[in-house]
Amino acid sequence: MTSYKPTRYNALLRTNALSSFLLLIAILTVSMKTTATQLPDRNKQAFSVEYMTGASDMHGMRLAYRPDFNYDLNIPLIGNTRLSWETSLNLFDLHGSAKNEATYGVSLSPVFSKALPNLSKHYPLTLEFGIGVAYVHNEKFGGVDIGSYYQFEDRLGLLIGLDKNQNSEIAIRYIHYSNGGFNTKNPGLDFLSVAYIYRF
């Protein structure tokens, strides 16, 4: 099995992916009308299916659930924001090695959602961000030693509503896993993902 060795190229690739994603959100925000959308009905729960792809031919899938425990907050400098909780089952796989390897994990994360100005009333936009905790079944898989079974799960995402009530949404996210430096081995895992969210 080929061992994974972080390089400057991989670090640059991760930085460019995040920078491009942030730039896309900034361009969309500046180019929109000034009228903000409304967040979905707070008394709804949600289920999502998410496909992730990352460096070193790493792939993953998240099955996530959000109960209807939502809190509307007014955060300084950010404004009206909704806090939700999300739990997920995470499946990771690597196809590039001589022998395919896979592992699974679970995560729990607070998620903050902020309605963005209208691009179209038919496709309302929402920005989301959060830092949660995750447990991974195997700290060494796909040639990557992530240093710990316990990881932080960071996210930054753009949600696009498929109807005015946002009962269905598509999310584009940047997700980063890291043990936060609690272990000397902390290469981190970076993913870009696409998710479908259904509220009921």
From first to last of its 200 residues, the chain has per-residue pLDDT tens of 444 444 444 444 455 555 555 555 555 544 444 445 678 777 889 999 999 998 777 888 999 999 999 999 998 888 999 999 999 999 988 665 545 567 899 999 999 999 998 777 788 999 999 999 999 988 876 667 888 999 999 999 999 999 878 899 999 999 999 998 888 888 888 999 999 999 99
* 68 C-beta neighbours (distance < 10 Å), count: 13
> What is the reported pTM?
0.78
Q: Give 74's Cβ-side CA count (13 Å radius).
A: 0
pLDDT at site 118: 73
- What b/e sequence results for 183-197 when a residue is b if at least 16 CB atoms lie within 10 Å of its CB, and e otherwise? eeebbbbbbbbebeb
| Contact predicate 4/56, CB 8 Å | yes
Q: What is the DSSP string of 64-100?
A: EEE-S--EEEEETTTEEEEEEEEEEEEEEEE-SSSS-
Name beta bridge partners: 36.
117
